[in-house]
Structure 1
Amino acid sequence: MQTTLSEQARQLPRAEEAESILRSCVHCGFCNATCPTYQLLGDELDGPRGRIYLIKQVLEGHEVTRKTQLHLDRCLSCRNCETTCPSGVDYHNLLDIGRAVVDAAVPRSLAQRLLREGLRNVVPNPGLFKSLVSSGQVFRALLPDTLRAKLPRSAWPAKARPAARHARQVLMLEGCVQPGLSPNTNAAAARVLDRLGISVTPSREAGCCGAVDYHLDAQAAGLDRARRNIDAWWPGIESGAEAIVQTASGCGAFIKDYGHLLGTDPAYAAKAQKVSALARDLVEVLRDEPLETLGVQAEQRLAFHCPCTLQHAQKLGGAVEAVLVRLGFNLTIVPDSHLCCGSAGTYSVTQPVLARQLRDNKLNALESGRPDVIATANIGCQTHLDGAGRTSVRHWIELVEAALPSPPAGVSP
């Protein structure tokens, strides 16, 4: 696509990157065929091709309006379009650049500012978030449906984690909302890894991956969180940790991007590249291990929802399904499995109407094979889908851990 950036746009730190991405787009429109919001709304400007055109206009010096901001806000950042694109357009990075420029030019309403600031102050704070979830459970009956749907329906308390005892060591991101919404997920991962001779080294200083800030008009704050995590993990990396494991695919996708996002930071560029190289979704670790030795006794019929951040961002579509089949689980066929469920980080809060439509469509597809339970690999998707009050939704590693045989007497679990 022919592009001529304005003089003002050429001063942007990522101007060269934006121009390169815009020039790679041939405007074929294949992306619209798999864009969830285009399918729902049928508006060219609510599809990737239209949004790319809007960003091009902005960077070429045309007027920026609230309408421009609205169409960019409606994007889920699911990256389905990147999987479909024959030209390899790096859409999500162009969107990040465009959103920053638009948000700097178009002030948001007071209500939007309060909502976004509230999310940025609550979601990345595990202690505060967990306290709010606990309080919400106490007063659940009094809450409006929108808030009640964000609370877990069932309590799955965290089991004890095994002590670090193996030569093979990995680090693990604890996450922001997962300890409050699904506290047993990381514990289950640690227990399964322990059975395979891999110990999880605690790294409590590591906090939010930074994605929440970065995607809510606060890119600098998001990158600061990335730097703090790198500092927290570095001693473990120097001590020989073989991977930094994530059980939330949304966090994993962002951590794998640290190397790119901090590529011009002289103090962190090399370390960020190392962290991104070591970042592994849990399935990337497990799929290379002798899973048959676990002796999993799988009886449940599962529908697996592959999060966008796993299949489109990390390019791991089918990886969890293959592991679950190896372990003996009976997986149902899920139509349109490439489509987003509508969670998309904080999207279900900032764009609730579209998010609910996408959720209901996704659940209809997931439930078409009559599963006993729905499994997924991202806490946001898990909470969003389960909030509909239909088939129970859990992280896949919890289902694997629950199907493990009890360890022999005298052996620590």
Structure 2
Amino acid sequence: MQTRLAPEFLSTPDGQEADAILRRCVHCGFCTATCPTYQLLGDELDGPRGRIYLIKQVLEGAAPSRATQLHLDRCLTCRNCETTCPSGVEYGHLLDIGRKVVEARVPRPAGERAVRWLLREGLTSPLFGPAMRVGQAVRDWLPPPVRAKVPARRDPGPWPQTPRARRMLMLAGCVQPAMLPSINAATARVLDAAGIQTVVAPGAGCCGAIRFHLNDQVGALDEMRANIDAWWPWIEPEDGSAGVEAIVMNASGCGVTVKDYGHALRHDPAYADKARRVSELTRDVSELLPQLLPAWQARLGGALPSGVPKRVVFHPPCTLQHGQKLRGGVEQHLRALGFEVQVARQEAHLCCGSAGTYSVLQPHVSEQLRDRKLAHLQADAPEVIASANIGCITHLQSGTATPVRHWVEVVDAALAAAGGV
């Protein structure tokens, strides 16, 4: 694609990056075929190719409009288009640049600004936990749309206390400890069962994804720096001892963001090297499965305990299969433990509609995608739907009575039933 970016952009790091990305696009349209919003809305401007043209026009000097902003807002950032693209167009990074430029030039209505401010500040606030506990206490009396965003409380169970020779950091996250604390506790137990101690660093909070995708990129970078500061004493201990082996992520949305710290902070001289190191150390918990599996199999004695749900359908989040390019590992290793695992027979590559705050900001599109996804996931009557990201889990659960769990919780339940945790 030929470009003639306006001088005000071409002389900036963002402009130079966008120019390089745009020049890789060959207009082929393969991305359109796998774009969830294009499939639902049928508008070229609600597909990757159309949004690329919109961003190109703005960077070449055209004035963006509210319509431009709306088409960019409707993108789920699922990055399915990146998986499909034969030219390696880094659409996600281009979209971040385009949204930032448009946000600075197109004022939003007061109501939109208020909702986005509440999401940005509320979800990352220390007050979110107490507010969620109140919501869970009165959940049965909440209006259905609100109740759908408040998962039923689940007992997280005990946190392992035995020191281990092997140690890994884990990001607790901003909403996960309040909404579904069972995921973090289950992660700590299944790692403990393989001889790995889970460390949660005080001071580490939101990964930055919420603010970044709500166009508060300055605030997001500050959160990234705060996490690096909180983790660094565990990565490079002052006493010269060995640091942690990895930074484990059990929310794939956080994982894809932290793996991008090196890119996000590449121009920050104080943090660029540390950010790159953090990204290199970051692992989705599924990436540890080859080394975890033997210990789990030994605990299970070669078979799943009776009473444990065995028929599992796995929904791979977009942030796992497209963002981190991790496919097939969860399914393969759960089958090795004795689970009967399937993925959706149709459209397993498509987004469920959660996409961080998207389900709040674009509920009509989000609910259509959820219901479409659930129809495929439930086609074979699974006992449990498993996924790897809290957003997908809570969003899918709001549309079905079938239990939706993190796959780590499924393993944890099996080990507990066998007396191994």
TM-score strictly above 0.5 = yes
Q: Which amino acid aligns with 2:363?
A: P
Residue 364 of structure 2: aligned partner: 353
The alpha carbon displacement at 1:399 in A equals: 1.0
Residue 328 of structure 2: aligned partner: 318
State the secondary structure of the residue aligned to 1:287: helix
The alpha carbon displacement at 1:366 in A equals: 0.4
The alpha carbon displacement at 1:249 in A equals: 0.3
Moved more, 181-190 or 156-165: 156-165
Residue 43 of structure 1: aligned partner: 43
Q: Which amino acid aligns with 1:379?
A: I
State the secondary structure of the residue aligned to 2:167: strand
1:246–1:252 contact (8 Å) kept in structure 2: yes
1:343–1:355 contact (8 Å) kept in structure 2: yes
Q: Does 1:309 align with 2:319?
A: yes
The alpha carbon displacement at 1:204 in A equals: 2.3
How many Å separate the matches in 1 of 2:236 and 2:158? 27
2:297 aligns with one of 292, 299, 320: 292
State the secondary structure of the residue aligned to 1:332: strand
Cα separation, partners in 2 of 1:185 and 1:30, compared to 1, 3 Å: same
1:3–1:56 contact (8 Å) kept in structure 2: yes
Residue 258 of structure 1: aligned partner: 261
How many Å separate the matches in 1 of 2:349 and 2:341? 16
State the secondary structure of the residue aligned to 1:206: coil
2:331–2:342 contact (8 Å) kept in structure 1: no
State the secondary structure of the residue aligned to 1:14: helix
How many Å separate the matches in 1 of 2:343 and 2:141? 38
The alpha carbon displacement at 1:144 in A equals: 2.0
TM-score (norm 1): 0.96
1:218 aligns with one of 198, 213, 216: 216
Q: Does 1:15 align with 2:15?
A: yes
The alpha carbon displacement at 1:407 in A equals: 7.4
How many Å separate the matches in 2 of 1:329 and 1:233? 35
How many Å separate the matches in 1 of 2:168 and 2:329? 20
Residue 77 of structure 2: aligned partner: 77
1:164–1:201 contact (8 Å) kept in structure 2: no
Moved more, 288-297 or 185-194: 288-297
How many Å separate the matches in 2 of 1:69 and 1:397? 38
The alpha carbon displacement at 1:175 in A equals: 0.7
State the secondary structure of the residue aligned to 1:8: helix
How many Å separate the matches in 2 of 1:217 and 1:107? 13
2:245 aligns with one of 242, 246, 250: 242
Structure 2 unmatched ranges of 5 or more: 238-242
How many Å separate the matches in 1 of 2:211 and 2:162? 32
Query: RMSD over aligned Cα, in angstroms?
Result: 1.4
2:310–2:338 contact (8 Å) kept in structure 1: no
How many Å separate the matches in 2 of 1:266 and 1:260? 13
How many Å separate the matches in 1 of 2:135 and 2:416? 35
Question: Residue by residue, what CA displacement relative to the aligned partner does 1:171-206 show, whole Å, maximum 9, x if unpaired?
Answer: 000011111111111111111111101111231210
Residue 107 of structure 1: aligned partner: 107
How many Å separate the matches in 2 of 1:333 and 1:283? 16
Residue 280 of structure 2: aligned partner: 277
How many Å separate the matches in 1 of 2:418 and 2:406? 22
The alpha carbon displacement at 1:389 in A equals: 3.6
Structure 1 unmatched ranges of 5 or more: none
Residue 401 of structure 2: aligned partner: 390
State the secondary structure of the residue aligned to 1:222: helix
The alpha carbon displacement at 1:390 in A equals: 3.0
The alpha carbon displacement at 1:246 in A equals: 0.8
Q: Which amino acid aligns with 2:132?
A: V
Question: Residue by residue, what CA displacement relative to the aligned partner does 1:77-118 show, whole Å, maximum 9, x if unpaired?
Answer: 000000000000000000000000000000011011000100
Residue 268 of structure 1: aligned partner: 271
Cα separation, partners in 2 of 1:406 and 1:144, compared to 1, 3 Å: closer
State the secondary structure of the residue aligned to 1:162: coil
Moved more, 67-76 or 142-151: 142-151
How many Å separate the matches in 2 of 1:115 and 1:293? 50
Task: List structure 1 runs of 4+ shifted beyond 3 angstroms.
Answer: 296-299, 405-408
State the secondary structure of the residue aligned to 2:145: helix
Q: 1:64-213, aligned counterparts within 5 Å?
A: 64-125=64-125, 127-153=126-152, 155-213=153-211
Question: Residue by residue, what CA displacement relative to the aligned partner does 1:289-334 show, whole Å, maximum 9, x if unpaired?
Answer: 3242231535421111100000000011211111211111111341
Question: Residue by residue, what CA displacement relative to the aligned partner does 1:353-393 show, whole Å, maximum 9, x if unpaired?
Answer: 00000000000010011101101100000011101143221
State the secondary structure of the residue aligned to 1:245: strand
1:333–1:369 contact (8 Å) kept in structure 2: no
Residue 55 of structure 2: aligned partner: 55
How many Å separate the matches in 2 of 1:314 and 1:332? 21
How many Å separate the matches in 2 of 1:246 and 1:364? 28
Moved more, 258-267 or 285-294: 285-294
State the secondary structure of the residue aligned to 1:272: helix
1:299–1:330 contact (8 Å) kept in structure 2: no
How many Å separate the matches in 1 of 2:277 and 2:163? 25
TM-score (norm 2): 0.94
The alpha carbon displacement at 1:164 in A equals: 4.8
How many Å separate the matches in 2 of 1:14 and 1:404? 48
How many Å separate the matches in 1 of 2:112 and 2:11? 28
How many Å separate the matches in 1 of 2:33 and 2:291? 34
Aligned residues: 408
The alpha carbon displacement at 1:406 in A equals: 5.8
